[in-house]
Amino acid sequence: MTQKPRGRRPLKEITGPQRRTLKEIRRFLHQRGFPPTIKELADILGISHASAHDQVNQLVRKGYLRREPRKARGLAIIREPEDEASDMVPIPIVGEVAAGQPIFAQENIIGEVLVEAKLVRSGRCFALEITGDSMVDAGINDRDLVVVRQQPVAESGDIVVALLGDEATVKRLYIREEKIELRPENPRHQPITVGPEDELRILGKVVAVRNPGGR
């Protein structure tokens, strides 16, 4: 005896608050490397944890999230909203990059920028303010912001953020046999040659440049 449904019928599409919830989950995931708990999500959204729980359930029902019930942070994004191609995602701006510390230590994060979601989609990203003019011929000027995809390896020819000893530099990477070169894109600067014994760590690859001044 299935009766005709009366009042309002369940929505198939994603609603505004749900879209926002999904967005914050994505942001959390990219910045921290693991999903938020229901409570953390509630705090971020400024609603109660029971409401956040509701939101998550809706998103699971509509196929955007997968989850393992009764597990802390048992959340994973399995689908993106359809119109999401033109959407923007905030990524952290990292200030000082010290040698021994993780890049995403809270003290180091000095702000946020919006970037195209597709840039960020695969992997964790951060933004870095450039000091100096060593990459002007690659279109990277003093005080520009570069978007960096975090990755420990890079290919020859990539523009990378490298940690050389105690300092982070942005240079173009060239891998030759037996040695590695970090080349500036400015004839007035010297290339840096790195041997196997030097302490070089690739922090990530530059995937975009912003001109905050708009010059």
Catalog residues that contact DNA under the rule CB under 7 A: 4-11, 15-18, 37-40, 42, 45-51, 53-56, 58, 69-74
- The entry of DNA, a copy of itself, none near residue 99 (CB within 5 to 8 angstroms by kind) is none
- Strands annotated E in 26-85: 65-67, 75-77
Verify binding: residue 110, a copy of itself, rule CB under 8 A. no
- CB-nearer residue toward DNA: 71 or 215: 71
CA distance linking residue 25 with residue 54, whole number of Å: 14
The least distance separating a copy of itself from the CB of residue 146, rounded to whole angstroms, comes to 18
Q: Is the dihedral of CA 134, 140, 144, 146 positive or negative?
A: negative
22, 77 Cβ separation under 8 angstroms = yes
Our finding on whether 151 is near a copy of itself (CB under 8 A) is yes
| Among 4, 48, 62, 134, the one annotated catalytic | 134
- Measured from the CB of residue 40, what is the shortest distance to a copy of itself in angstroms? 9
Which secondary structure element, helix H or strand E, spans residue 29, and what is its range? helix 16-32
Euclidean distance between CA atoms 199 and 166, whole angstroms: 9
Q: Which partner from the list DNA, a copy of itself, none does 153 bind, CB cut-off 5 to 8 Å by kind?
A: a copy of itself
179 tagged catalytic:
no
